[in-house]
Chain A
Amino acid sequence: MNDPVLLINYAIVAIGLIIPVIAVYKSRISKLIPALAWLSVLLSAIGSTILLYNTMIKGPIQFYNGLLVHDSFTAFIWLGASLTAALSLLAAGEDPLIWESSPGYYSLLPFVLFGIFIITGANDALLILAAWLLVSVISYVYIALPPEKNSRAAAIRYIMIGAVATLFLAVWIAIDTALASQQGLGSFSLAPLTLDKISGLALATIIAALGFKTGIAPFHWWVPSVYGRADGRVVSIVAGVIKLGFIGLLAKITYALAGGTIVSMGTPILQSLQPATTLAYVFGILAVATMTYGNIAALTTKDLRALLSYSSIAQIGYILAALAALAYFSPRDATLANYAFAAIALQAVAYGLAKAPLFSLTSVETSQDRLRGLLSSNKIAGAAAGVLLFSLLGMPPMLGFWGKLYMFIAVAGFSILLVVAAMINSAISSAYYVKMARDIVSEGENETQVPKHIEAAVMLSAIIILAFGFIAPLIFSIPFP
């Protein structure tokens, strides 16, 4: 109870609750509201850093009698989400204050960060459901917050499909409970897949649920529609911050389904390695479908927001490739499973850090070629946006490169076909990333005028990505689970 990480989380929740109360008196103290949101982000960054340090020194740490278990992987994801939240908040500036719903924008952010702490650490199916509902509802509200028609329309779509996804999660929880009992584990423990047919249903439902949340093909159809239409300032939170939480959850569940948790506990009661292999192949196929769809769809689109949406799908495809390796190696080889964890963590955080400010940038104008002439109108924003694009492309020594390197190391041990697919896709993606980079240096007829707060967010993001490119490899010297 006295753990500093928990205390920090209680403080974050308290801030989330205080903001709406203060908002009643907003005419006099409105500046305090963003300040409090900033405080919650700062606390979250401090908490995640403490947690990361402790997990690196001591290994996995339990909270609430093991209901919540964090390791350096989940701590890094939480840290990445905190930094991404800071970038989103910085990029939004004080713009949301003029929205009618402004208290919502600021008060929900602390809950998002708290939710990510819970959802990535949850070691119990019911707790996963609770955190899922918290974070999901907030993400729907965020999309609906900006006072314009497109965002509202996007939110309705998002909610409709989200509700179905939640239903699938509930079904998975029911089956998981049955599997856990069958295997003599705790009631709502995360049980590994077995050779029983019911495991197939469990797999289908959890992929349907998390596939929706993270934008995995063929559950991704909403992504261009929501990311591409809603206001960039809120999309940056949903696509950047919240998605990191779900990626963390997906990795954790994958590890458990493949039997990694049980094997790492030294009780090899797995019936067979076959379920883990099947899971790996399912993820492998989905990875190829997702990255190929995202990259090819992004090739010819001229709308920056749509392009970022499609490339988000492609990025999830790469993460899925690492997840496939994670599934395969979890019960087999701890070292390679750890490389897969490193790939997921680095790739996901690099994605979040780059996408949050880029989506915010799309809120600047309504022109399609929004990045055109950015360098000539704003040197800092132009150069920084270039760094973000090259990180997404996997250029060294930026953070995205390390994600790709670990991904290729892990996947090369699992499937050469998946490696080749990732290689081809990576090459295809260069076409649109480089085209975007060309737009940045081109001269635009209407040069993009970037507000100071967005310029600061893009620049800060580039600095973090470069700094992490040098520091993150040092961090990842300790095995995760």
Chain B
Amino acid sequence: MEFTGTGLVVEPNASLMPWALIWGFSYLGAAILAILYFIGVKNEKIYGWGSVASIALSTIVSFMALGKVLGGQVIYAASSVTWVPWINIGIGVYLDGLGAIMAVIVSFLSLLIAIYSTEYMKGDWGVQRYFFFFTFFVASMLLLVTADNLVLMFIGWEGTGIASYALIGHWYTDEEEYWVGVPGRKAFGTPMYFEPSHSGVRALMFTRIGDVGLLIGMAALYLLTGTFSIPELAADTGWLATLASKGVLTALLLVFTLGALAKSAQFPFQEWLVTAMTGPTPVSALIHAATMVKAGVYFMLRMAPVFLLGASLPLVASQLQTYFVIIAGLGAITAFMMATMALVSNELKLILAYSTASQLGYMFIGVAAAGVLVSQAHEAAALGVVAGLSHLMSHAIFKAALFLIAGWLIHAAHSRFIDYMGEYAKYMKVTAIAMWLAGLSLMAIPPLSGFFSKELTLKAAEEAHLVWVYALGVITAGLTAAYTLRMILRVMHLPPKKEGHGHPHEAPILMLAPYTLLAILALVIGLAWTWVYPELAKGISETLGIALAVDAVKELYQVSIAATGTIITLGWVAVNFIAVAAIYLALRVDFDSILEKNTIARAIHDFLFDRWYINALIYIVIVGGFAGLSMILAGIDHVIDLAYHAAIPAVFALGAAGLRALHRGKTDYYLMLYMYFVSIILLVLYIIWG
């Protein structure tokens, strides 16, 4: 079956306004907040509601764009002036099915989280700075998902990185209450607790490595194609054949994708996301659940159709296949690894962080599955892209809800550890219902949206015959159910393990409303999925140029509860669900005493709790290695400095004395020396000249 999509638009068909206002309003809002900050305005309400207003305006324009795109029109808006004429970089907005949906997800979720933040950040000493970076982040993220060319996208990409760094380190005074990890805990001598300022640096460092890869990939693509334009790259995919003929396609695409892997915290870049939890919880909801970590997936979704369209040559297809298998593998490893860590974590936000990286792995599996069998089965390719996007959407909603709920629970418990939380369902019924709805969606229980989207990713892996990726995906689905249920039970229903100082009660309306709305959305989307989604998916793939014939699509994008794969997955999820329920509710297993008595259990627990020792390994081998080398170089410099101070003066003093001894005041002696050295120089030059 061939792609039938003709939706690609290569020439601009709209003016820049109003579509650039999608990011323009938020950038304007950020600029105004910055000016207010520098002129000394302190009123926090102005910052909070200023941020909300600018993001609301961006949201309105985003919805307008989505309306048009769903009506069948791809919006390609470009300015009449080219910004960088020499390398043909303009300022443009490209809104196809992917861009428009991403703009709506980003702006709408940001709006809800901004409203939540006005209450959550009330009275915070850095609230002005917070709202500036928050708004700047949203603007950059919107620029990233709507840019028509790679350079503009990269500007948004880096903007989100800077804002993320600033927001993770928001409480840079580094008080213990803002840390991540158990204070004092070490693995192989490496501290496993992190202060906000340290975490910010880690986030920027980890993602920066990938960003430079992305920059290099962009430069290489430009050299090959002479364009940075995304639609032009999709329209003419001859460059893939050029790279494939030189045997470097897989390698270059991997370098190009480093940025996406790092941004989306995929193995081996996952560590930054875990410790990014030092930021205020709305930041975790916005950046580390709903939006920025999705930038990597978005990038894959944006580029995958381009790769797929160019895969007609066998040489290209085989190298693309290798590339996509590697990406799928990394996604599967990340999904599984992070889920195992979530099983034993005792910090609420950390559980959600592990879960986020794990779920991002599913999205990568979906997109990568698209490429694996592209030369044989276009339906698998189209399914993979749609599956990745579906899980991105549904995860953004239910995970944002869970993080926002966590923000309130941590506030209520005065602790980030779940040991100090318990039986909160008694005090906050609406929050408990919201947590269950969002949690069930994360567990992929029908009819919530998470079930459909996760099943689609697994279906894509199955269609692509990625057996072990599929197997890891199914196993991880069970683990997801286990850690999510454990989290909900311990926080909402079981008594707290430790006595805390919390005062649980229902959240104020400005915090309660956003997460309740999101949790309900997870349910509503799930209920409407069967009827709405296949049509929506078809529309999206049409604008991406990878649509299939109508009849094929309807079946392809459906998730049948009676399918063998689905039954296996749901059965495994049920086993995990029942096991956890039995362990915590019926058997009341005392894990603390087991860990105390059983060394094997403790070793397994420590391995998982200390994140498979990967963090320690990175610090010992990479950070330690570079630091050691740096100190050696500093030592060399010190020696040279000493030489300047002592050795060289001493040599010169000796030399001077020696030379003075040569000066005997006789002209013939000077003449002899002069001739002697001239002869030497002539001899050397003669030898060199040859």
Contact = CB atoms under 8 A, between A and B. Distances in A.
Interface in A284-317: 293, 296-301
Given A296-B626, A297-B630, A396-B154, A412 B173 contact: no
Contacts of A225: 637, 640-641, 644
A470 B89 CA distance: 12
Question: Which residue among B86, B154, B248, B629 has the maximum number of chain A CB atoms within 10 Å of its CB?
Answer: B86
A395 B158 contact: yes
Given A225-B640, A428-B626, A413 B201 contact: no
Question: Which residue among A393, A405, A411 has the maximum number of chain B CB atoms within 10 Å of its CB?
Answer: A405
A441 B223 contact: no
Contacts of A200: 688
Interface in B131-158: 151, 154-155, 158
B209 A201 contact: no
- Is chain A's binding surface mostly helix, strand, loop or mixed? helix
A452 interface: no
A328 interface: no
Contacts of A426: 208, 212
- Is chain B's binding surface mostly helix, strand, loop or mixed? helix
B216 A419 contact: yes
Contacts of A394: 215
Interface in B460-492: none
B155 A157 contact: no
B223 A443 contact: no
A158 to B, nearest CB: 11
B32 interface: no
Interface in A446-480: 470, 473-474, 476-478
Interface string A361-380: 00000000000000000011
B165 A434 contact: yes
A20 interface: no
Contacts of A397: 155
Contacts of A401: 158
A395 B162 contact: yes
B680 interface: no
A426 B207 CA distance: 12
A395 B163 CA distance: 12
Contacts of B255: 423
B626 A299 contact: yes
B99 interface: no
Interface in A395-412: 395-397, 401, 404-405, 408-409, 411-412
B445 to A, nearest CB: 41
B165 A293 contact: no
Nearest to A409: B219
A427 B200 contact: no
Interface in A380-439: 380, 383, 390, 393-397, 401, 404-405, 408-409, 411-413, 416, 419, 423, 426-428, 430-431, 434-435, 437-438
B661 interface: no
A383 B631 CA distance: 30
Contact of A412 (B37, B208, B213, B216): B216
Contacts of B627: 299-300
Contact of B205 (A301, A390, A430): A430
Given A395-B162, A428-B626, A412 B220 contact: yes
Question: Which residue among A390, A404, A473 has the maximum number of chain B CB atoms within 10 Å of its CB?
Answer: A473
Interface string B171-204: 0110000000000000000000000010011001
Contacts of B38: 379-380, 383
Given A430-B208, A434-B204, A442 B216 contact: no
A303 B85 CA distance: 42
Given A419-B216, A423-B212, A197 B688 contact: yes
Interface in A180-229: 196-198, 200-201, 221, 224-225
B209 A198 contact: no
B87 interface: yes
B219 A405 contact: yes
B690 interface: yes
Nearest to A160: B648
A413 B223 contact: yes
B689 A405 contact: no
B688 A396 contact: no
A434 B201 contact: yes
B671 interface: no
Contacts of B154: 396
Nearest to B197: A438
A279 B111 CA distance: 56
B568 interface: no
B197 A442 contact: yes
Contacts of A412: 216, 219-220, 223
Interface in A244-279: none
Interface residues of B, number: 53
Interface string B664-690: 000000000000000000000000111
Contact of A408 (B155, B166, B201, B215): B215
Given A225-B644, A396-B155, A474 B83 contact: yes
Nearest to A224: B637
A454 B377 CA distance: 64
A81 B379 CA distance: 59
A411 B220 CA distance: 9
B89 A423 contact: no
B86 A477 contact: yes
A296 B208 contact: no
A408 B219 contact: yes
B222 interface: yes
Interface in B94-115: none
Nearest to B203: A434
Contact of A296 (B201, B215, B222, B633): B633
B634 interface: yes
A474 B87 CA distance: 10
A421 to B, nearest CB: 11
Given A224-B637, A297-B634, A412-B220, A198 B689 contact: yes
Contact of B173 (A197, A416, A443): A443
B450 interface: no
Contacts of B248: 416
B84 interface: yes
A293 B169 CA distance: 30
B204 A430 contact: yes
Question: Which residue among A293, A380, A411, A427 has the maximum number of chain B CB atoms within 10 Å of its CB?
Answer: A427
Nearest to A435: B201
Question: Which residue among A380, A408, A478 has the maximum number of chain B CB atoms within 10 Å of its CB?
Answer: A408
B125 to A, nearest CB: 11
Given A434-B204, A434-B205, A201 B637 contact: no
B688 A198 contact: yes
A423 B627 CA distance: 19
Nearest to B202: A434
Given A197-B688, A396-B154, A427 B212 contact: yes
A409 B223 contact: yes
Contacts of A411: 219
B433 to A, nearest CB: 40
Nearest to A198: B689
A206 B572 CA distance: 71
Contacts of B644: 157, 225
Contacts of B151: 396, 405
A249 to B, nearest CB: 24
29 contacts: A160-B648, A196-B689, A197-B688, A221-B637, A293-B633, A296-B633, A297-B633, A297-B634, A299-B627, A300-B627, A342-B86, A395-B158, A396-B154, A404-B215, A405-B215, A408-B219, A409-B222, A411-B219, A419-B219, A430-B208, A430-B209, A431-B205, A434-B208, A438-B172, A443-B173, A473-B83, A474-B84, A474-B85, A478-B86
Given A299-B629, A431-B201, 9 more contacts: A296-B626, A301-B634, A342-B86, A393-B208, A412-B219, A427-B212, A442-B197, A476-B86, A478-B86
Per CB-CB distance, the 10 closest pairs between chain A and chain B, nearest first, are A408-B219, A473-B84, A299-B630, A430-B208, A300-B630, A297-B633, A427-B209, A477-B85, A396-B155, A409-B219
